[in-house]
Amino acid sequence: MIITVKNKDTLTFDDFKFKCCVGKKGFTKNKVEGDKKTPIGKYSLENLYYRKDRKIKPFTKLKVLEIKKNMEWCNDKREKKNYNKLIKFNSKLKGEKLYRKDYKYDFLIPIKYNWKKRVLGKGSAIFIHLTKDFKPTAGCIGINEKDFIILLKLINKKTKIKIL
């Protein structure tokens, strides 16, 4: 089964159609760190990460990990070893904090973009995460919580996402 994002405001899976938001500057085949664009392509999904202090563990066939205060996603273009990977907070590295004050990362699923053969500066921390207002993202895909919960019940570790 494939999640499909065909345009800047619609995500589909099977017979389900969800409103979504994408990168502020649209889509690209040539993603660059910080360009505010969502990468075009077909990708696998990683685990579900969630804030246990705010949310009940949802039903899903994905592996579920609790977001801890020291978790970050490395987006440091100088860091070959950890770029585009989950790391523990390190003041010497740039990273996207997963334990946020806002709600956006109360649930998130990393999209396996720039994953196996990571290229420094080609983009990192591309997630499916929560949104309330559907304002454009920094390159991720945002959906509202109700739809996220529905999607979690439908997908599994073999599910792919296709961004057109």
Sheet holding 16-19, edge to edge: 16-19, 10-13, 2-7, 160-163, 41-44
pLDDT digits 0-9 by tens, 7-52: 999 999 999 999 999 999 999 999 999 999 999 999 999 999 999 9
* pLDDT reported for residue 95: 95
Q: What is the DSSP letter of 115?
A: -
pLDDT digits 0-9 by tens, 101-152: 999 999 999 999 999 999 999 999 999 999 999 999 999 999 999 999 999 9
pTM, two decimals, is 0.96
Residues 6+ apart with CB under 8 A from 59: 152, 153
pLDDT digits 0-9 by tens, 43-78: 999 999 999 999 999 999 999 999 999 999 999 999
pLDDT digits 0-9 by tens, 113-123: 999 999 999 99
CA distance 137 to 130: 10
Look at residue 91 and tell me whether its pLDDT is greater than 90: no
Q: What is the DSSP letter of 163?
A: E
Helix H or strand E encompassing 162: strand 160-163
Q: What is the DSSP letter of 114?
A: S
Look at residue 92 and tell me whether its pLDDT is greater than 90: no
- Three-state secondary-structure class, residue 124: coil
For the chain, domains (ranges, CATH) are 2-163 (2.40.440.10)
Look at residue 84 and tell me whether its pLDDT is greater than 90: yes
CB-CB contact of 63 with 157 (8 Å): yes
